Amino acid sequence: MRYNDLDHFLKKGRDALKKGPIALILVEDLVEVDTTIRHHQFAGFHEILVFAPDGLELPDELEKNIRRIPFDMSQDGATQIAVNAIIAAAPGIWMYYCYNAEYLYYPFSENRKIGEMLTFHGEERRDAMLSYVIDLYAGDLSAHPAAVSLEDAHLDKSGYYALARSDPDNHNHPKERQLDFFGGLRWRFEEHIPKARRKIDRIALFRAKPGLKLLEDHTFSDPEYNTYACPWHNNLTAAICSFRAAKALKLNAGSTFEIDTFRWHNSAPFEWHSQQLLDLGLMEPGQWF
């Protein structure tokens, strides 16, 4: 179903916000939009909202199963505008957001649907889930100069680390149960990445509530939403396998000619399976088995 704009959806499409979980796919370019939608359909999201430019063309079978909202992702604060509008319209509903050419994985995602996983997570009194953005990249840039290839996708199997997240309102002491995570292409090619965009943590899965706001750094206005676990034990985490950084590094004139390959000695072919991410420690099952 298509709408004229975001305001039109909020007036005429609110039936899509009555039951979760809901996926918001933010389309920045026309790369792998269809595979992104199909991947999240398989995960079992109740509704998929696609914020996309008018030039996007999709197969009819995809168009009829999504809510398509014309939206300009190049505007300042586009992510916050889109996500916060849906948060305000759907309190109490679990939702998720990502960009095109990004693919959500969570423990045992091949056999268990997203709703089942979030039900368990909610029973642990959690309203948000930490996700790590794991950079994907084409192994052969001469064959895939845009750095995107599902068949030749690679990821870094090591090189990830975390630093304490300081609290400027408390003499820069570490925030409780909050860390800044780094790694992947944003770490290896950090000279081409603005400092504010080098982190790989994103609170991509969360339960909306009145007054909640997504901030520019992919954290939320409620500090508890930004924690990696509850005080008493470890919780589930998820991974978003993403070509977004690789695309940007090859699109940017300041970096594209300096990068002949993204592969290094710690590269590994991506197997498109949650078990590989679990084995590499790139997400945690917590108490869910």
Return the structure tokens found at 188. 């290896």
pLDDT of residue 167: 86
Q: Are 145 and 196 contained in the same domain? A: yes
d(CA 155, CA 266): 8
243 contacts 146 by C-beta, under 8 angstroms:
no
pLDDT over 90 percentage in the chain: 90
5, 120: one domain: no
Domain of 218 in residue numbering reads as 103-289
**238 and 166 in a common domain:** yes
Continuous H helices in 210-284:
244-251, 274-279
Domains: count for the chain:
2
Q: Is the per-residue pLDDT at 289 higher than 80?
A: no
- Tell me the average pLDDT across 43-71: 95
Q: How do residues 15-36 score in pLDDT, each as one tens digit?
A: 999 999 999 999 999 999 999 9
| Choice between 33 and 169, residue whose per-residue pLDDT is larger | 33
Alpha-carbon distance of 216 to 91, in angstroms, equals: 21
Same domain for 95 and 118? no
Looking at 48, 68, 100, which one is the last position of a domain? 100
Contacts 24+ apart (CB under 8 A), 256-265: 258/192, 259/141, 259/189, 260/141, 261/139, 261/140, 261/141, 262/137, 262/138, 262/139, 262/141, 262/147, 262/154, 262/185, 263/137, 263/139, 263/154, 264/156, 264/188
Residues 47 and 67 in one domain: yes
Domain limit, last residue, from 100, 115, 136: 100
- Are 221 and 276 part of one and the same domain? yes
Q: How far apart are CA 204 and CA 238, in angstroms?
A: 9
Which is it for strands 267-269 and 128-138: parallel, antiparallel or unpaired?
unpaired
Residues 246, 163 share a domain: yes
Q: What is the pTM of this model?
A: 0.96
In terms of domains, do 88 and 139 share one? Answer: no
Evaluated on CA atoms 122, 180, 204, 146, the torsion sign reads: negative
Instruction: Examine the domain organization and report whether 87 and 207 are in the same domain.
Output: no
Average pLDDT over residues 277-286: 95
Q: Which whole number is the average pLDDT over 47-65?
A: 94
pLDDT recorded at residue 231: 86
Residue 169: per-residue pLDDT: 83
Q: Are residues 71 and 177 in the same domain?
A: no
**Boundary (domain end) residue, out of 44, 79, 100:** 100
CB 106 within 8 A of CB 193: no
Q: 75-106: per-residue pLDDT in tens?
A: 999 999 999 999 999 999 999 999 999 999 99
H-helix or E-strand containing 67? strand 67-70
CATH of the domain at 95: 3.40.50
pLDDT at 168: 85
41: nearest Cα among 23, 56, 59: 23
pLDDT tens digits for range 204-262: 999 999 999 999 999 999 999 999 998 888 899 999 999 999 999 999 988 999 999 99
Shared-domain flag, residues 110 and 14: no
Mean pLDDT over each residue of the chain, to the nearest integer? 95
Q: Is 272 exposed, middle or buried (0-12, 13-18, 19+ CB in 10 A)?
A: middle
Of 66, 95, 97, 56, nearest to 79 by C-alpha is: 97
Q: Quick one: 270 and 174 in the same domain?
A: yes
Q: Residue 203: pLDDT band by 50, 70, 90 thresholds?
A: very high
